[in-house]
A and B are shown apart, each in its own frame.
Chain A
Amino acid sequence: MTELSADIITACQSGDRTAQRQLYELHHRRVYRLCVRLVGEQDASDLTQQVFLKLFRTISQFSGRSSFETWLHRVTVNECLQHTRSRSHRPEVALVTEPMAGTSESGSASESTELLHTALDRLAPELRTVFVLREIEELSYSELAETLDLSAGTVASRLNRARTQLKVLLTELGWEP
């Protein structure tokens, strides 16, 4: 962590509103994007809000042992997984939909991303999480291990499973690479 972001975090720890907003401005796109990919666009705003409220409430416990990014990912992933679990008790699971999927791209590209959406939604939450953190947030294996509390070996096998199952789901949906 740089000295600069350490300053923001220290200020946040004393409840400084300006620093809180700075932290939000620096990180909210990442948090929102992760929430959209993990729980769907419909609930992503609420989840993002929950993540930041939690972050500000618990930031005094942030020790700096892991990077702030890792901590942020961890809080976001946990909130999303918790949300997914509570949602799965409901009779109808809301589909991950994103009506604004890139319509300006050529038809086939946006159709394929729609398929990916649907396939990701059908993947088990733990597998979806590791795939999204790797492919969209571009975390390394050591960052994944730290964020998800896994060994590097488990990260590798979970990613293998995620990709293999995703491939099956995509193929079922008619995807041809």
Chain B
Amino acid sequence: MNCSEVRDLLSPLHDGELSAELRESVEQHLRECPACAAVRTSFGAMSLLARELPEPEPHAELWNQIEAELPRAHSRPVQWLLSAESFRELARRSRILTAAVTAVVLVLAGTTLVVYDQFHDRRDSNGHDEHLAVNFDQFLNEFPKSPEHAQELLHASYPSNLVDVDQAAFQVKYRPAVSNRLPKGYTLDSVHLVRMPCCLCVEALCTGPGGSRVAVLEHAIDQPVWFGDRPASECNCGGRKARMVKFDSHYAATWKSARRYLTVIGIRDEDELREWIQHLDRPEA
């Protein structure tokens, strides 16, 4: 075989689509021809590179947008089904394997699609989010000592980008709550987009009167798992029902705003929480 014939067969060889006989002839040539061998090596390097591309995250509103365009239709409860192809797709990449586990759990439980709306909440019991809980636990433990270091820990676990509010708005397709007026004396230090397993999360760090620091996270899905086993209390603040947990001498709290969930970390008390809710949680323009 000459070089030109071999080059034509390099992709099929690389992709495992050659017969044993042809493979042997091509490999024989590669052992003797450094030029063709180098091309083959570069194919392998590009495959590895392609596998490193980050998995993009579709935004959570996508189905609603599609449904809005669909003609009116009837609906009936259908058993949640997982086809073999879909399973293969889910299992294809280990980084989304946990999603497959969740889906399998749903199938095993014989769950109907009626519970779909709780699907995301159910993810709290899967391994992926437990992993998240561990990371977030570190974040909470570290936050009172050094908010910056806590942030670094979080960013070491999840892809993140330093952005301004406008860039954030463009990416998440909503106006982040921290673009509203902040409670008196607070200024915005930084805004990051953090790609968490739940969603693309807007994470902001603020400095308040006397140098106190508060982190604000805005996310599409409730994340009770973030607070781990810490005892939580409910509070009715500023018209919202919030869940508060104590850590160190501060509090973290989560509540559901009109369209998303907001979490503030580092507040002193219920009064301060009320203020944050009143400032952040405004109807969108």
Contacts and interface: CB of A to CB of B under 8 A. Distances in A.
A27 B86 contact: yes
Nearest to B155: A104
A16 B76 contact: yes
A138 interface: yes
A149 B92 CA distance: 24
Contacts of B229: none
B158 interface: yes
A95 interface: no
Interface of A: 1-2, 4-5, 7-8, 11, 15-22, 24-30, 32-33, 36-37, 41, 44-45, 48-49, 52-53, 56, 67-69, 98-105, 109, 112-113, 116-117, 131, 134-136, 138, 140-141, 156-157, 159-160, 163-164, 166-167, 170, 177
Interface string B146-159: 00000000011111
B207 to A, nearest CB: 24
A177 B41 contact: yes
Contacts of A159: 11, 15
B20 interface: no
Interface residues of B, number: 65
A100 B171 contact: yes
Contact of A15 (B15, B73, B77, B195): B73
Nearest to A99: B161
Given A16-B75, A21-B116, A159-B15, A112 B52 contact: yes
Contacts, number: 181
A62 B9 CA distance: 35
A46 to B, nearest CB: 9
A158 B222 CA distance: 46
A140 B106 CA distance: 30
A135 B80 CA distance: 30
Contact of B155 (A28, A53, A103): A103
A170 B45 CA distance: 11
Given A104-B158, A104-B160, A156-B8, A163 B43 contact: yes
Contacts of B50: 116, 131, 135-136
B89 A30 contact: yes
A102 B78 contact: no
A160 B86 contact: no
B54 interface: yes
Nearest to B10: A160
Nearest to A67: B85
B36 to A, nearest CB: 12
